[in-house]
Amino acid sequence: MSEDSIHQSSKPADVVEGNGVEPAASAPAATAEATPATESKEAQEATPEQDPLEAAREEAARLRDQLLRTAADFDNFRKRSRREMEDAERRARADLLRDLLPVFDNLERAVQHAEHATDVKSLAEGVEMVLRLFLDTLGRLGIHRIEALGQPFDPSIHDAVQQIETSEHPPGTIAAEIQAGYRFGDHLIRPAMVAVAKPKAS
């Protein structure tokens, strides 16, 4: 082998003899992917804005549904309250009747006794006992008889149906009680029906 051949083979393989061109540089790196912020912005731009009219319709539908629910709840509350009031009224009547039943029982016994009684005085005493029992029962229930005879006439609790000329009672006072009146606490159940005294004509 000649010397020239040895020198040629010893040259680097990647250098082309005679043109001086070096190997081409590697291709530039691929373009970086889009950042999340850029994608979010593009997504917002791609999403169309909601129509104001459609938004108002949706809000109106929501408010209407809420109003209907509120009305239904109120109607249920009203019905429940009415049932509770009716139940309370029935219980109050039952309690009142339970308290008055002993009076009714004694009155019934007095009537049965009167059919065979020969002593009128004892019969009258029995009826008087029933009356006292009735008044005591009313007192326990908070119901009181209105005082009338000899009291000054009070139009808020007395109902004058006539006037009586008398010197036994001062003018303007109650000379006779025709029908008893009752009140429950401060509530007037029935005014007393009375006759009011007036001075005798001269």
CA-based nearest residue to 192, from 139, 156, 163 = 156
For residues 125-144, average pLDDT: 88
Question: What would the pLDDT profile of 149-184 be if each residue is shown by its tens digit?
Answer: 999 999 999 999 999 998 888 999 999 999 999 999
- Alpha-carbon distance of 175 to 166, in angstroms, equals 8
Residue 178 contacts residue 194 (beta carbons within 8 Å): yes
* DSSP class of 173: B
The dihedral over CA atoms of 34, 38, 42, 44, expressed in degrees to the nearest 10, equals 140
The CA-based diameter of the chain, rounded to the nearest angstrom, is: 184
* Residue at 132: amino acid letter: R
Tokens of 141: 């229930």
pLDDT tens digits for 21-37?
Answer: 444 444 444 444 445 55
Domains, the chain: 58-141 (3.90.20.20), 144-202 (2.30.22.10)
Query: In DSSP terms, which residues pair with 183 in a beta bridge?
Result: 144, 188
DSSP annotation of 25: P
Looking at the whole model, is its pTM more than 0.75?
A: no
Q: Residue 18: how many CA atoms within 13 Å on its side-chain side?
A: 1
